[in-house]
Amino acid sequence: MNLKTVGLTTVLLLCVGLIAWVALRPTADAPSVPTAPAMPAVISPQKPEADLRAERDAFFKADVEPSITKADKLNREAAERCVTRLKESFNGYRAGIQPFYKEINTWGTRLGVIRRMPSDWWYEKTDVSDYIQAKFGKHLFTDKKLAHDIANALAQFRTDVEANQNALVTDIRAAISSHDLPGLPEIDYSKFAGDLSGRLKGYTAQSARDSVVKGIIAEVASGVGGFAAEQLLAQLIVRLTATVGTSTASAGGATAGGAAVGGGSGSLGGPVGVAAGLAVGVVIGVVIDWWMSSSFEAKMTEQLNGLIDDLIQEVIAGTADRPALRDGLRGSCDIIRQAHQDSLRVRIVDGGAL
């Protein structure tokens, strides 16, 4: 191949290459071909709301209701401890019986009573009953002591309920975090507690006829004590008023009758001292009538132990007509459980906001 042939071949190849480049090069006006998006391996269809609700309901029954039952059990155990604590406080008053009757039986006390009853109309005044009541309060109890002991027992119950409620929220949060279920909410404790407080107040306004239950629920809902103690003391006053009346009617002597009336009516001048004053009214007639008797110590011991038994019966056990602390706590636990159930169901199953 000579030089001329090589040159012609080279020129020919360059022309073919140029033609190919012009034919195949992209132009500015030519549209680009879009790249097809990558398709997911599996497309999950959206479940109907009815199916999601059914799943949340199943979760509620399997994981939430057992936690509510656990909290309810702990609340009822706290209620029993509250009753036991208050009963121990009341039984502790018995330690003051002997010091009380020993002081009452001294000549100094007798002279003090004589100075305060100058004539047969003494029972219309409160001098003697106030004098005896001061000694009674020193050794046994006063209204303030009664209210303080009741309020302390209920305050501990309220603290226990709050701790159980906190544990309930912790258990439910753990259950929610362990399930991959669409629509399960976060449970905020402060919002839950606020919603629960509102529900408790609503339940007491609508359905709780028992004043003791209302008082306990009001304390749990608001955190402010004293409501239930006032109701229980009011019931005790009713009971003691009737007892004083019976003592007066059946008294064997005018002195005993006058003492009972003086102890009772003299104590009704204000809210402080009513129950303790009536308690003194129950025993003051016995003090006068049995002072000089050899059976004074035994009679006073029997009378004061009976008074404390009545106190426990009226404030803690109650009657069919006047439910007291034990039934009030049980009723309160029923309402608290219902509030837990309703509040959490609205949030978890219905998807409502707290």
pLDDT digits (tens, 9 = 90+) for 250-306: 444 434 444 444 444 433 333 345 788 777 777 776 676 677 677 888 888 998 999
pLDDT band at 221 (very low <50, low <70, confident <90, very high): confident
Q: How far is CA 245 from CA 206, 248, 283, in A?
A: 36, 5, 12
In percent, how much of the chain has pLDDT > 90? 29
Return the higher-pLDDT residue of 26 and 314: 314
Residue 167 pLDDT level (bands cut at 50, 70, 90): very high
What distance in Å separates the CA atoms of residue 317 and residue 302, rounded to the nearest whole number?
A: 21
Give yes or no for residue 332 having a pLDDT over 60: yes
- CA distances to 9, 81, 158, 164, 221 from 333, rounded to whole Å, are 106, 13, 11, 12, 12
Give the residue, 256 or 337, on which the prediction is more confident. Answer: 337
Q: In this predicted structure, what is the pLDDT of residue 140?
A: 93
Domain boundary assignment for the chain: 51-348
Burial 10-21 (b: 16+ CB within 10 A, else e): eeeeeeeeeeee
CB atoms within 10 A of CB 291: 15
pLDDT band at 234 (very low <50, low <70, confident <90, very high): confident
- Tell me the mean pLDDT in the region 132-154: 91
Residue keyed to tokens 């219309």: 124
Q: Provide the 8-state DSSP code for 28.
A: T
> Average pLDDT, stretch 127-131?
77
* 244 band by pLDDT with thresholds 50, 70 and 90: low
